Amino acid sequence: MHLKAITPNYNFSRTTLRIAVGVMFFMTGLCFASWASRIATIQQNLNLTDAALGGVLFAMPVGLMCSLPFSGWVITRIGSRNLLISALTVYAISLLTLSMAQNTVQLVACLLVFGFASNAVNISVNTQAVAAEGLYKRPILASFHGLWSLAGFTGAAIGTFMIGNHVIPFKHFSLIMAVVIISVILTTRYLKSDKPASAGPAFVMPDSSLIKLGLIAFCSMVCEGAMFDWSVIYFKKVVLAQNALMGAGYTAFMLTMATGRFIADKFAHRFGLKRTLQISGMLTATGLLTAVIFPYLYTAIFGFLLVGFGVSSVVPLVYSAAGKSKTMSPGVALAAVSTISFMGFLFGPPVIGFVAGLATLRASFTLIAAMGICVTIFSTKAKIY
């Protein structure tokens, strides 16, 4: 009787924590996808060239780099729960400011804050996810990233609707900000209240095995970032899609990315982590090259579908492997690897802009396809089981 009385409370606790963390992942993805879906609109409103946009987008990784010592320092003192609540709130507010920028300087300043908050959210929400996974006897980390991708799909669909109905970014982002902040308020009490860690360094250099994992995720997230920031522009300028279909490739990418992440844990368990990562890199490269060689509506959509499947499993599986590090605690290892990988997510898009300015968007997407090949190569050489 005593065990029966305890079991429901434990199950309820871990279930509510999983739901709460899932909501935070969804809100994070919704916030970023909303920005990504309106980049082309903001570029047009500010009359930015592709090269200029690439330079502006560099503000995000700069903000991320500035956030690294802060996030590492503050999470050891206030815990991941408090950092997630405050960082996600700032993330939502800074999203709205992006729509209010009247010139390049203002947009750069807003992107600095947006990038700063994004890194703090990324580290804290994944720390919460690791805590939730610890309550289960099976991997569930990929499912959280699946919710992030599902939110990206939702944000892309909303963005496509807003563009099709000529809704200005300010009204669009105001709605998203309200949804995110309300969700944070309702979910706060159900997140894990982790105790602040003892004082230590803000950032610890990972060992060689973690660096290799970070490089695999880095290459994959370069491709992922390219899809977020440039897929709509690619369909507009290369595929020459109609206004109502400019977000079709992005939507297709997010659909298969979300689907792939919900099945990634089972696939990796059956075929092995290394084989899964190798196949993922091949799918990513094949999809991008398909869109480059055959820049037509249906072939480009098909290519982006493959890219979505390709990048879907890489990051969550790498994070899961990092959490099992024998040289660092799960939290420290995860923070180190996620930092390396997230820089790829933010540095990739600006590089695309510069390459597009020097050559063409098709040339820049060919370069990104090489990152998919690198995922396969690094996964083959790395000691992954």
Surface-to-core class of residue 47, CB atoms within 10 Å of its CB (0-12 exposed, 13-18 middle, 19+ buried): exposed
Residue 331 sits at the vertex; the CA angle it makes with 326 and 334, to the nearest 5 degrees, is 80
- Dist CA 219 CA 138 (whole Å): 27
> Residue 239: helix, strand or coil by DSSP?
coil
Is 281 within 8 Å of 370 (Cβ atoms)? Answer: no
Give the phi and the psi of residue 195 in degrees, each rounded to 5.
-80, 140
Confidence (pTM): 0.76
Domain extent, residue 128, equals 2-381
Identify the three-state secondary structure at position 295: coil
The percent of residues in the chain predicted with pLDDT above 90, rounded, is 46
pLDDT band at 82 (very low <50, low <70, confident <90, very high): very high
- Banded model confidence at residue 66, pLDDT cuts 50, 70, 90: confident
Per DSSP, the residues of 62-82 read: HHHHHHHHHHHHHHHHHHHHH
Q: What is the dihedral of CA 308, 309, 311, 315, to 10 degrees?
A: 120
Strand residue runs (E) in 14-62:
none
Most confidently modeled of 57-61, 92-96, 251-255? Answer: 92-96
For residue 325, the SS3 value is coil
Per-residue model confidence as pLDDT tens digits over 328-374: 766 667 777 877 887 787 778 888 888 888 888 899 999 999 999 99
Q: What is the CA radius of gyration of the chain?
A: 20
Q: What residues contact 193, with CB distance under 8 A and at least 6 apart?
A: 79, 81
Compute the distance between CA of residue 308 and CA of residue 284 in angstroms, rounded to an integer.
7
**Residue 239 vs residues 247, 297, 300: alpha-carbon distances, Å:** 11, 6, 8
Cα 260-317-38 angle, rounded to 5 deg: 55
Mean pLDDT of 286-310: 95
- Longest pairwise C-alpha distance within the chain: 72
Dihedral sign (CA 16, 20, 25, 29): positive
CATH number at residue 302: 1.20.1250.20
Q: How far apart are CA 383 and CA 191, in angstroms?
A: 34
Average pLDDT of the chain?
86
229: closest CA among 378, 15, 57?
Answer: 57
Contact yes or no for 309/256 (Cβ under 8 A): yes
Owner of token pair 């903000």: 63
Q: Domains in the chain: how many in total?
A: 1
Instruction: Report the alpha-carbon distance of residue 376 to residue 158 in Å, rounded.
Output: 34
The DSSP symbol for 313 reads T
Where are the extended beta strands (E) located within the chain?
none
Structure tokens at 248: 């079709």
**What is the reported pLDDT for 140?**
82
The whole-number pLDDT of residue 376 equals 95
- Residues 6 or more apart whose CB falls under 8 angstroms from that of 63 comprise 111, 112, 113, 114, 115, 116, 117, 118, 119
The kind and range of the H/E element at 93 are helix 59-100
Instruction: Say if CB 101 and CB 44 are below 8 A apart.
Output: no
Higher-confidence position of 157 and 342: 157
**DSSP SS3 for 136:** coil
Give the span between the Cα atoms of 207 and 351, in whole angstroms: 28
8 Å CB contact between 287 and 307: yes
pLDDT at 199 over 60: no
Q: How confident is the model at residue 2 (pLDDT cuts 50, 70, 90)?
A: very low
Residues in the chain, total: 385
The confidence band for 133, taking pLDDT boundaries of 50, 70 and 90, is confident
Q: What is the pLDDT of residue 41?
A: 92
Token pair listed for 135: 């309550």
